[in-house]
């Protein structure tokens, strides 16, 4: 199906990333803040998460530093006032 010769036959010259080898890795680090936010604000009430690790399931979550939060809020207020001033 499709249009003959619509796409070029040599995909490696057009899309070189398709021929790249994916390197192996030993460690996987996840930013859990976005995952936890989605879990704490679910879109569907009936979704359940059930995971039983064979040995260890370890999650590390960093916390928002209060000083950084104040700085961010101060910057947002400044940008809003500057935008309203025109």
Q: How confident is the model at residue 45 (pLDDT cuts 50, 70, 90)?
A: low
Range 29-33 average pLDDT: 70
Give pLDDT, residue 58.
Answer: 66
Q: Which domain holds residue 77?
A: 28-40+54-86
Cβ atoms of 51 and 57 within 8 Å: the answer is: yes
This prediction has a pTM of: 0.25
Does residue 11 belong to any structural domain of this protein?
no
Does residue 8 belong to any structural domain of this protein?
no
Does residue 33 belong to any structural domain of this protein?
yes
**What is the CA 10 to chain-centroid distance, rounded?**
32
Does residue 3 belong to any structural domain of this protein?
no
Does residue 62 belong to any structural domain of this protein?
yes
Cβ atoms of 11 and 17 within 8 Å: the answer is: no
Instruction: Tell me: pLDDT of 47 over 60.
Output: no
Strands (E), 18-73: none
If one counts the domains in the chain, the total is: 1
Range 61-86 average pLDDT: 79
């Amino acid at each position: 199906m499709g249009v003959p010769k619509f796409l070029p036959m040599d995909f490696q010259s057009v899309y070189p990333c398709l021929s790249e080898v994916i390197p192996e890795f030993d460690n996987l680090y996840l930013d859990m803040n976005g995952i936890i936010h989605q879990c704490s604000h679910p879109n569907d009430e009936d979704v359940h998460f059930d995971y039983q690790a064979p040995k260890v399931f370890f999650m590390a979550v960093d916390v928002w530093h209060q000083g950084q939060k104040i700085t961010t809020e101060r910057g947002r207020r400044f940008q809003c006032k500057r935008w309203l001033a025109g």
